[in-house]
Structure 1
Amino acid sequence: MVTLLPFDRFVAIDWSGARGKRYAGIAVAECGVGDAAPRLVEPPGGWWSRTAVFDWLRAGLADGAALVGIDCAFSLPFAVAGRTLPAGAGVFDLWNEIEKICADEPDFGGAPFAEHPIHGVGFWRGGPQPDWYDDPHRATEIACRADGLGSPQSPYKLIGAKQVGKGGLAGMRVLRALRAAAPDAVAVWPFDAVKPGQTALTEIYPRLFLKQAGFGQRKIRDGVELDAALARLTSRPLGLSGAVSDHAADALASAAGLRWLAAQPDVWTPPALDERARRLEGWIFGVGMSQSDGYGVL
Structure 2
Amino acid sequence: MNAPRFRHFVAIDWSGAKGARQKGIALAIADAAGGPPVLVEHHWSRDEVLGVLRDELPSDSLVGLDLGIALPHADCGAYFPGLDNTPPDAPALWHLIDELAAGDENLGANSFVAHPAMRPYFRDGTDTGEHFGCDGAEHGRGRFRVTEQAQAAMGCKPYSNFNLVGAAQVGKSSLTGMRMLHHLRGHLPVWPVDPLPDADSVVVEIYTTLAALEAGRSAAKAKMRSYEALNEALAVLGSPPVERSGEVDDHTTDALLTAAWLRAVAPEPERWSPAGLTPAIARTEGWTFGAL
TM-score past 0.5 threshold: yes
Counterpart of 1:52, as a letter, is E
CA distance in 1, matches of 2:271, 2:56: 24
What residue in structure 1 maps to residue 184 of structure 2? Answer: 178
Q: TM-score normalised to the size of structure 2?
A: 0.90
Count of aligned pairs between the two proteins? 278
CA distance in 1, matches of 2:3, 2:50: 27
Q: Which moves more between the two structures, 2-11 or 251-260?
A: 2-11
1:77 counterpart (66, 72, 75): 72
- Distance change in 2, residues 1:187/1:51 (3 Å): same
Pairing 1:2-151 to 2, within 5 Å after superposition: 2-4=1-3, 6-43=5-42, 47-61=43-57, 63-78=58-73, 79=76, 81-83=79-81, 84=83, 86=85, 89-127=88-126, 133=132, 134=139, 135-148=142-155, 150-151=156-157
Q: 1:221, CA displacement in angstroms?
A: 2.0
RMSD over aligned Cα atoms: 1.7
Q: Which runs of 5+ in 1 are unaligned?
A: 289-298
Query: Contact (CA 8 Å) 2:87, 2:96: kept in 1 or not?
Result: no
CA distance in 2, matches of 1:38, 1:172: 26
- Distance change in 2, residues 1:121/1:130 (3 Å): closer
Q: 1:115, CA displacement in angstroms?
A: 1.2
Q: Which moves more between the two structures, 79-88 or 224-233?
A: 79-88
What residue in structure 2 maps to residue 295 of structure 1? Answer: none
Query: Contact (CA 8 Å) 1:66, 1:198: kept in 2 or not?
Result: yes
Q: TM-score normalised to the size of structure 1?
A: 0.88
Q: Which runs of 5+ in 2 are unaligned?
A: 133-138
What residue in structure 2 maps to residue 244 of structure 1? Answer: 248
Query: Contact (CA 8 Å) 1:85, 1:94: kept in 2 or not?
Result: no
What residue in structure 2 maps to residue 152 of structure 1? Answer: 158
What residue in structure 1 maps to residue 136 of structure 2? Answer: none
Q: 1:87, CA displacement in angstroms?
A: 6.4
Q: 1:35, CA displacement in angstroms?
A: 3.1
2:191 equivalent to 1:189: yes
CA distance in 2, matches of 1:170, 1:128: 21
Identical aligned residues as a percent: 38
Query: Contact (CA 8 Å) 1:81, 1:119: kept in 2 or not?
Result: no
Q: 1:92, CA displacement in angstroms?
A: 1.1
CA distance in 1, matches of 2:11, 2:61: 10
Deviations 1:22-65 (A, max 9, x none): 0111000001103311010022xxx100001111122334x311
- Distance change in 2, residues 1:250/1:138 (3 Å): same
Matched residue SS, 1:152: coil
- Distance change in 2, residues 1:141/1:5 (3 Å): same
What residue in structure 2 maps to residue 296 of structure 1? Answer: none
Counterpart of 2:53, as a letter, is L
CA distance in 2, matches of 1:88, 1:130: 19
Q: 1:220, CA displacement in angstroms?
A: 1.1
- Distance change in 2, residues 1:213/1:85 (3 Å): farther
Q: Which moves more between the two structures, 219-228 or 8-17?
A: 219-228
Counterpart of 1:57, as a letter, is L
What residue in structure 2 maps to residue 161 of structure 1? Answer: 167
CA distance in 2, matches of 1:201, 1:13: 11
Matched residue SS, 2:189: strand
Query: Contact (CA 8 Å) 2:47, 2:107: kept in 1 or not?
Result: yes
Q: 1:4, CA displacement in angstroms?
A: 2.5
Query: Contact (CA 8 Å) 2:13, 2:66: kept in 1 or not?
Result: yes
CA distance in 1, matches of 2:84, 2:239: 44
Q: Which moves more between the two structures, 224-233 or 119-128?
A: 119-128
Query: Contact (CA 8 Å) 1:224, 1:239: kept in 2 or not?
Result: no
- Distance change in 2, residues 1:262/1:18 (3 Å): same
1:201 counterpart (200, 203, 226): 203
